[in-house]
Homo-oligomer: A and B are copies of this chain.
């Protein structure tokens, strides 16, 4: 099975979120996803990048990938006829993903709370989500979405 990889690297700046969404919807749009699934992948990747910008890179300190520039986000998209895998990587602060539990969204919304929707969206809209930090300080959030058989 032919598998293609596409790489996008952007500065950690909310200005480029629209670009990330364009790349993701263009790639997912060329696959056999429903419109709903494309929208889910789009928002999940947007939320993942938003969190890197908001939490992994703080404005005080600049951190670079080995050989890279300060505060960059690496997005690797791997596609084949079965699924899309999106890896969002940063060289910023570690995130204790394993011990983070998404809020009970119904209760959360009932209280009209404004925050905590991002990771809920990521976990619920994608089929598989995992986080890894390598010894050299690179954090990668991996998002997988399978193509449903029609």
| Residues in chain A within 8 A of chain B (CB atoms) | 4-11, 13, 15-16, 18-19, 22-23, 26-27, 30, 69
Contacts and interface: CB of A to CB of B under 8 A. Distances in A.
This chain's copy number in the assembly: 2
A30 B13 CA distance: 14
Nearest to A69: B5
A7 B6 CA distance: 10
Query: What are the 6 closest A-B residue pairs judged by CB atoms, nearest first?
Result: A7-B9, A22-B22, A19-B26, A22-B26, A4-B11, A6-B10
A140 B10 CA distance: 20
A50 B6 CA distance: 17
Given A6-B11, A15-B30, A19-B23, 8 more contacts: A4-B11, A4-B13, A5-B9, A7-B7, A7-B9, A19-B26, A22-B23, A22-B26
B9 A16 contact: no
